[in-house]
Structure 1
Amino acid sequence: MNTLTTFKRAKDTKGFTLIELMIAIAIVGVLAAIAVPAYSNYLARARISEAVNYAQSCKTGYVEFYATNGTRPANVDEANCPSIDTQNIASVQVAAGNNPRIIVNLVNAAPLPSDIRGHRIVLQPLNPTGTLLADGQRVEAWRCSITTAQNGTATNAAKEYVPAACRQDRL
């Protein structure tokens, strides 16, 4: 009779067993192991998107100057690039000449991932034939690419962080 009472008392107790708690903790650990790298990758892509969006805003001023004056802007003031202070962008350049482009230089430090630190986002205006813009031609499209600080080809690891439209090599 004493055995039945003890068994009944065990059924009446409330709470979780040690095994149930260990299983729940293991599930949370697996989810965290998956979520943390995915979130850090998301943050890195967001930081690079900020640089690409900044370059996109320079395009408007670039085209406006070109349409008004008939020549390509030679600096950020002529291209009317907005001034911005950010922890992801080191500087912005606008170049004319035979290789017209808008260059957004990324910082060479954290918070950017080491694979992309010090790289450049390069936007190049293209004419209707898909080649680099020359004076007197119409801006038909833009080519977006990522390069190293020395204008070399970026690694595949660096290209993973930029939008798909910017994964092409520059002209």
Structure 2
Amino acid sequence: MTKQIQKGFTLIELMIVIAIVAILVALAVPAYQDYTIRAKVGECINQAAPAKLAVSEYFQSEGNFAGSEAAYGFDTANSESQYCNDLVITPGTGRITVQSTNTGADVDPGAFLTPEDASGAAYNPTSMSGPINWDCTTNGTGALRHLPATCRQ
């Protein structure tokens, strides 16, 4: 009698491989969805860079924050994009509010960009010194995990 050489895989071996691949996919898809949502929200926060510059320049030249959004010379109405629904500069504080849209999240997240001095304290016109640093925090909309790491505090 001659021995038969086995060729290929058995049905059980193939089923085990398919089960392992299915488990890996089940873990990877939600993580990837969170990553893509975070990237879209990050793009919206980056849209605020010209507004941050306008607020910083106004503060450096005038020594305080403007009493109206229009005084900064930045048109927030034209700052909307595919993933950024709203951008508002709060008069008197320079705080910028961004609200994302079309991110794929159940609730689109938003953030506050708050000007601070070098020590991390809120910028105060009477005690300011040095450049403006921007603190990013959640504005309470959307899941915290959908904000970029710099805004998850």
TM range (shorter): 0.7 to 0.9
1:113–1:63 CA distance, 2 compared to 1 (3 A): same
Q: How many residues align?
A: 149
Which ranges in structure 2 are unaligned for 5 or more consecutive residues?
none
Match of 2:105 in 1: 113
1:39–1:164 CA distance, 2 compared to 1 (3 A): closer
- 1:134 partner SS: coil
Match of 1:133 in 2: 124
- Quote the offset at 1:25 in angstroms: 0.9
1:52–1:166 CA distance, 2 compared to 1 (3 A): same
Once the two structures are superposed, residues 6-50 of structure 1 have per-residue CA deviations (whole angstroms, 9 ceiling, x without a partner) of: xx3x31x53222122112211211111111111111112112211
1:14–1:143 CA distance, 2 compared to 1 (3 A): same
Please provide the CA RMSD for this pair: 3.0
Distance in structure 2 (CA, Å) of the matches to 1:81 and 1:61: 11
Which letter does structure 1 place at the counterpart of 2:99?
N
1:111–1:49 CA distance, 2 compared to 1 (3 A): closer
Match of 2:152 in 1: 167
Distance in structure 1 (CA, Å) of the matches to 2:89 and 2:56: 12
- Indicate if the aligned counterparts of 1:75 and 1:95 stay in contact, CA closer than 8 A: yes
Which ranges in structure 1 are unaligned for 5 or more consecutive residues?
149-153
Match of 1:27 in 2: 20
- Indicate if the aligned counterparts of 2:76 and 2:88 stay in contact, CA closer than 8 A: no
Match of 2:83 in 1: 88
Once the two structures are superposed, residues 81-115 of structure 1 have per-residue CA deviations (whole angstroms, 9 ceiling, x without a partner) of: 79555332112111222x331111222xx43312x
- 1:124 partner SS: strand
- Show the 5 A alignment for 1:1-171: 4-5=1-2, 8=3, 10-11=4-5, 14-73=7-66, 74-75=68-69, 78-79=73-74, 83-97=78-92, 99-107=93-101, 110-114=102-106, 116-117=107-108, 119-127=109-117, 130-134=121-125, 137-138=128-129, 139-148=131-140, 158-168=143-153
TM-score by length of 1: 0.68
